[in-house]
Amino acid sequence: MHKVVISGTGVFTPELSISNAELVEAFNSYATRQNEIHADEIAAGTRAPMTMSAEDFIVRASGIERRYVLDKSGILDPAVMHPVLPERSDDALSVMAEMAVKAATAALAKAGRTAGDVDAVICAASNHERPYPAIAIEVQEALGIQGFGFDMNVACSSATFGIQAAADMIRSGSARAILMVNPEICSAHLEWRDRDCHFIFGDVCTAVLLERDDLATAPDRFEIISTRCLTQFSNNIRNNNGFLRRTREGHMTDRRDMLFRQEGRKVFKQVVPIVSDLILTHLADENVAPAHLSRLWLHQANKGMNDLIGSKVLGREPEAGEQPNILQDYANTSSAGSIIAFSKYSDDLAPGSLGVICSFGAGYSVGSVIVKKV
């Protein structure tokens, strides 16, 4: 069995960003217009008026201050309220593949590798822009990688589950190096017309190169000590869109359940103990004391949730730098969040430092990866 290391990471960040102020202005314009259109129903008590959003409400609820998106014009247009991404021909590189190639190129450069050193591509993301052919195979073709590729989806835990899948294949000898990419176009499956969630998501793509330790040449790399995954079914985070939609009468209309929706308070209450228990059990099984951890790179969904998980795992409030947050700038980027944090806040660690990459989300799903700086 081969030792596996993370030898390179890359992050593609869109050029456009939306501040909370811009978002609130657009949402409140939309809400005001809807209240005017339905004024008679609201006056009759048969329809509740839409509640206005506010910058302080968003920061207090999530810790998010801005988010990067592929398109902001449609999102900020009260008459549209979703990104506008033009259709591409079948012969053109897809949006997800384009994002993935950019992040993957950065990861390969950091690892000092080329496409010829890679045997497979895993595209792990919460939503894929088409069922087939696999985005991973398109990325493989675009980069010139010989081998194989496949897509996988475990919602916000896709990246950590992807790391486990790649690590297992490399350990067993079925691949030397695997590129795992996470192109997340979260803006396209977010309901921007819903006050309770219109601020949550942003777009980004991350990439992780995993390879055999004895073949790796990157001076800064992290050995994967152990991985652990857990799932527990819940409807509290759900998206009902899919190919069966057209087989059901009325389902092709504008339906709220065809986009991201969640019971936020239930998710917070239920997920925090699940994640905390999994990390602590994982550490105990590997004889790693929480006090020996130098860093936690957690899923970037909600600052309050991360703070509480960090406190439960470490047994105290995390100190500055022990649990880096990036969601204030990126918002929730689904599976990519913990990888952004890892990519941006790992180079400074000394050799021998231990850390945990952990993501969690719909399913429920939780993925934990214990790593050590080589």
Amino acid at 72: K
Residue with tokens 């400074």: 348
Q: Which residues pair with 369 in a beta bridge?
A: 227, 357
Task: Measure the CA–CA gap between 109 and 66, rounded to whole angstroms.
Answer: 29
Contacts of 350 (CB under 8 A, 6+ apart): 294, 373
R_g over Cα of the chain = 21
Which H helix or E strand runs over 19? strand 16-19
Active-site residue 156, yes or no?
Answer: yes
φ, ψ for residue 259, nearest 5 deg: -125, 175
DSSP codes, 39-57: HHHHHHTSSPPPPPP-HHH
Q: Which of 123, 156, 186, 197 is catalytic?
A: 156
CA distances from 253 to 192, 248, 249 (A): 17, 11, 9
The residues assigned a catalytic role are 156
